[in-house]
Amino acid sequence: MRNLWTRALWGGVTGIAAMDIILGIGRSAGLVQLNLLGGLADLVSTGGVAYSTSGAILGFVIHLLAGVLWALLFAVIVRNLHSRHNLILGLINGLVVWLLWGLILPPLGITPQPWSLGTPNTIMTLIASLVYGLATGIATSEDLLAIT
């Protein structure tokens, strides 16, 4: 079985990929009004590039790095709590991510608060964040991985 840090890293990667897929589907369906990947890319590129396909790729890479770092921080917490069953902690992690998204990213000009753009946007961004948290929780849960 891989160590906690490797599992957390992969939990962060799969969680961010799932989160961005959910947000992309939500944007395509008109339910998500914000562009997280474009906003992240806008931090290090021009607006014209940030909201292009190249910008989406750049934004995904930035989001992926942030998601992996956050997952490793989550692993530190899990380790210090001596927790082996982390599904609930993972969902709490996802909720914290969503709340921080709304508190930290708007002042930086990356995205508006996810709950400020209507109910569909609120629900889709919350679901995406909870899926990320669940992925980190599953990845760091010892008992779930022992079955596989």
Q: Tens digit of pLDDT for each residue in 114-129?
A: 999 999 999 999 999 9
Judged against a pLDDT cut of 80, whether residue 143 lies above it is answered with no
Residue 84 lies in a domain: yes
Residue 28 lies in a domain: yes
The pLDDT assigned to 83 comes to 85
The pLDDT assigned to 97 comes to 98
The pLDDT assigned to 86 comes to 92
Judged against a pLDDT cut of 90, whether residue 130 lies above it is answered with yes
Residues 109, 53: Cα–Cα separation, whole Å: 20
Q: Are 84 and 142 within 8 A, CB to CB?
A: yes
Which of these, 98, 74, 61, lies nearest to 7 by C-alpha position? Answer: 74
Tokens of residue 41, six digits: 């890319």
Count of domains observed in the chain: 1
Percent of the chain with pLDDT over 70: 95
Residue 139 lies in a domain: yes
> Containing domain of residue 68, as a range?
4-143
Tokens of residue 84, six digits: 């082996």
Confidence of residue 8 (pLDDT cuts 50, 70, 90): very high
From first CA to last CA, the distance across the chain in angstroms is 10
Per DSSP, the three-state class of 12 is helix
Confidence of residue 148 (pLDDT cuts 50, 70, 90): very low
Residue 148 lies in a domain: no
Residue 46 lies in a domain: yes
- Amino acid code (one letter) for 70: W
The pLDDT assigned to 147 comes to 47
CA 34 to centroid of chain Cα atoms? 15
Question: How many CB atoms are closer than 10 A to CB 65?
Answer: 13
